[in-house]
Structures are given as C-alpha cells and as structure tokens.
Amino acid sequence: MKPYSDIAKVIHKEGYIFIIIAAIITFILGSFSTNLLWICGICTAWCAYFFRNPERMTPEGDNLVISGADGVVQNIIESIPPAELNMGSDPMIRVSVFLNVFNVHVNRIPVTGKILSLKYFPGKFVNASLDKASVHNERQSVLIETKNKTKVAFVQIAGLIARRIVCDLEEDQEVLSGQRYGIIRFGSRMDVYLPLNTTIEVAIGQTCLGGETIIADLDKPKSEERDFVRRSI
C-alpha cells in the first residue's frame, strides 16, 4: 500500500468560496435570530463536509484499476466508449460509480499511466443515476495508456444538480493510480471503460472508496461469467 504522493488537504480548494459565503450568511442572519444561526450553521458545516478531501491508501500494482470515486457501483455493462475519445466502436466493459451528495466528490486516477487525451463534452444535466447520462450529460473524458500499453478511459459525469466539473490533468502527463486530479460539485457519476477481457473485482451495489477499492485487475485472466449482484447477509 502507498500513501498519496501529493499533499492531502482537509478541504478541497473548490470548496473554499462556498464555505466562506455560507459562513458570512450565517454570521449576518445569526445576528438577527438564534434559529437562523443554527440553520445556517448546519448548512455551513455540511458545505465543509461535502468538500472534504480525505487521505487514502492506494494498493500497489500497475495492473490494478482503482475506483476513481466514492460511491456505489451502479452497473457493470458492455458499452461503446465516449465518441470524443476516438477509441472506435468496439464495446468495452463500463463500470459506473454513482456519487450522492454525502459522498466524497474528489476524484482520483484509476490506473497508473500516461494521459493520451482529454475531451470535454458540454451536455445535459439529467439524473446521473440514469444510464443515458453516460451519453447525454456534460462530462470530462480522459484516455490513459498504462505501462503495459493498455488503453483505459475514465469519465467525470455531471448530475442533476452538478454544474461544475474540475479536471486538473494535462495531455502527456504521467500519473499514478490514486492521485487526486479533480472534483465534481454535488451529485454525479464516474464511468471507467476497460477491455472486454478484464477481470472485474467489484459487484453491482457495492460501495467503493476512491483511491482504495480495486475494481479490476488488467493482468488477471477473465474468469467465467459471474452474477455481479451482491446479496446482503
């Protein structure tokens, strides 16, 4: 296991302005009413909680694909990768992780490699839990090549109330799995596109931790078809 190489901060930089504004409103309204002080104070605390930027421990292995976001695995299906990445029309395995407003929204690199392409698509803002969000919603798509020359795509997708996608990557940049690279403000989704022969290590309904949960092993031969639905016991 390895700690992140970049410096962890308690709050992501995108959250500062929201927290400051909320604190000012709390101070002003709180001077008139104790009830408003409590209500606004709770809102300010939630804002700080939403933009939290926790430390995580990332499993070692250039072949491992790590979840790029906190959230629940929504589906694992065969799907054509985003057209803007020019990866062709052959289907790949798409693992989708849905983030609600209580999840950490800082995004992380799923696999170690070199950034080949960055493409922004100005789409719609339908509910990110819907399958059509992968095609129609505003998104930031990234194509990366691993050290073994395997191409993997990962996509930040805006949701119903998300209105800003932040991606700090550059083309030709060398990155490490688990490295922080951006954030999606409020409800959203992250899709990862993998080769069809990839062994998937998560199940539908499973909760993932960004930078920690292994979602696939690129070097492990694909086993027989499995039921990806996990039962609670």
Is residue 233 included in any domain, yes or no? Answer: no
Q: Are residues 141 and 163 in the same domain?
A: yes
Q: Are residues 10 and 27 in the same domain?
A: yes
The last residue of one of the domains, among 55, 71, 86, is 55
Single out the residue of 103, 104, 94 nearest to residue 74, CA to CA: 94
**Whole-angstrom distance, CA of residue 57 vs CA of residue 163:** 29
The pLDDT profile of the chain, 233 residues, written as one tens digit per residue, is 444 444 346 877 777 777 888 888 888 887 888 888 888 888 888 778 778 888 888 998 889 999 999 999 999 999 999 989 999 889 999 999 998 888 888 899 999 999 999 999 886 665 555 666 666 678 899 999 999 999 999 999 887 665 678 888 999 999 999 999 988 876 688 999 999 989 999 999 999 999 999 999 998 766 644 444 444 44
* Residue at 227: amino acid letter: D
CB 74, CB 98: distance < 8 Å: yes
pLDDT at position 9, please? 67
The last residue of one of the domains, among 13, 38, 55, is 55
Is residue 222 included in any domain, yes or no? Answer: no
Is residue 224 included in any domain, yes or no? Answer: no
Q: What's the CATH code of the domain at 118?
A: 2.70.70
**Whole-angstrom distance, CA of residue 157 vs CA of residue 101:** 14
What's the structural domain count of the chain?
Answer: 2
Q: Are residues 90 and 173 in the same domain?
A: yes
**Whole-angstrom distance, CA of residue 155 vs CA of residue 192:** 6
Q: Are residues 173 and 75 in the same domain?
A: yes
Q: Are residues 114 and 211 in the same domain?
A: yes
Sign of the alpha-carbon dihedral angle for 178, 131, 168, 43: negative
**Whole-angstrom distance, CA of residue 169 vs CA of residue 161:** 24
Q: Are residues 51 and 79 in the same domain?
A: no
Is residue 225 included in any domain, yes or no? Answer: no
Task: Examine the residue annotation and report whether 188 is marked as an active-site residue of this protein.
Answer: yes
Q: Are residues 186 and 211 in the same domain?
A: yes
Is residue 15 included in any domain, yes or no? Answer: yes
Q: Are residues 105 and 198 in the same domain?
A: yes
3-state per-residue secondary structure call for the chain: CEECCCCCCCECHHHHHHHHHHHHHHHHHHCCCHHHHHHHHHHHHHHHHHCECCCCEECCCCCEEECCCCEEEEEEEEECCCHHHCCCCCCEEEEEEEECCCCCCEEECCCCEEEEEEEEECCECCCCCCCCHHHHECEEEEEEECCCCCEEEEEEEECCCCCCEEECCCCCCEECCCCEEEEECCCEEEEEEECCCCEECCCECCEECCCCCEEEECCCCCCCCCCCECCCC
For the chain, the maximum distance between any two Cα atoms, rounded to a whole number of angstroms, is 65
Q: Are residues 65 and 34 in the same domain?
A: no
- The partner residues of 66 in beta bridges, in order of sequence, read 214
Is residue 223 included in any domain, yes or no? Answer: no
Q: Are residues 49 and 83 in the same domain?
A: no
Q: Are residues 26 and 85 in the same domain?
A: no
Is residue 227 included in any domain, yes or no? Answer: no
81: domain range?
57-217
- Relative to beta strand 2-3, strand 57-58 is antiparallel
Q: Are residues 65 and 21 in the same domain?
A: no
pLDDT at position 124, please? 65
* Residue at 178: amino acid letter: G
Q: From the candidates 5, 33, 188, 223, which is the catalytic residue?
A: 188
- Half-sphere CA count of 196, side-chain side, radius 13 A: 7
